[in-house]
Structure 1
Amino acid sequence: MSDDRKRIVLVGASGVFGQRLAAMIARWSDVVLVLAARDLVRLDAVAAELAKTGPAATIEVAQLDRLNPVGLSALGPGRWSTRPGRSRVRTTPFPARCSRPEPTMST
C-alpha cells in the first residue's frame, strides 16, 4: 500500500509562529507533518500538545540543524538548501495558488 499523503517539514516548529502553523496544518488529514527544529525537548512538547487536540495529520518529530546535514538526510529524498538562514525541502512543484479553504473565525 502506498502513502500518497504530502509530507510537510515545518522548520522552526518549536517557535511561537511555528507552533501556530503546526496547529493549523495538523487539522489536515492528507499530510504527514514533520515538526523540525534544533531543540528536541521543545519539539516533543509541541508534539504532545498537538496530540491532545486529536490531529488529523500524522505528526513526526525531527531534530534539524542546518549546520548538521545528517538531520537533513534522515528526512528522506528532496531538494535541500542549507545556505545560512534558509533550510527547506521541496519534493513537488509549488501550486500556483493554495487550494485549501481559508479557516473561518467564529465569534
Structure 2
Amino acid sequence: MLKKMRKDTSRLDIRTPRRRADVRRAMKPKEQDMSKKNVEELLIAGGADEKLRNKYDALKTKEEFVALAKGDGYEFSVQDLDDVLRESGDSFESFGNPAKRVIWWQ
C-alpha cells in the first residue's frame, strides 16, 4: 500500500500549474491585487466620465477593451476584468443603440 502511494505522488509535480486557476494562484498576491485595483479604477472613472464610458462601450470584445485600457494607463488582463465583473455581479454584455454596458460604477 505504501509503495502504491509513493508511486502515485511521484507523478505529481507541484511546480507545474495544471489549470489557469493554478497559474493565477501562483501569481504574487500584490500583482494580482494591483491588476484588480486598476480594473476597479477604470470602472469608477467610466462611471464619472461619460466620454470615457462611451469610448469603452463602443468596443466589441474584452480583448479590445483591455488593449484600450492599457493605452490609457490601466494595466490588467481579461482574466482580471472577468474576476472583478463576476465579484460585483456585472456582465460585459452590451445592449441598445448606441451600445451601452452596465459595468460602470458610480
Taking structure 2 as the reference length, the TM-score comes to 0.25
Relative to its length, the structure with more helix (as a share) is: 2
Taking structure 1 as the reference length, the TM-score comes to 0.24
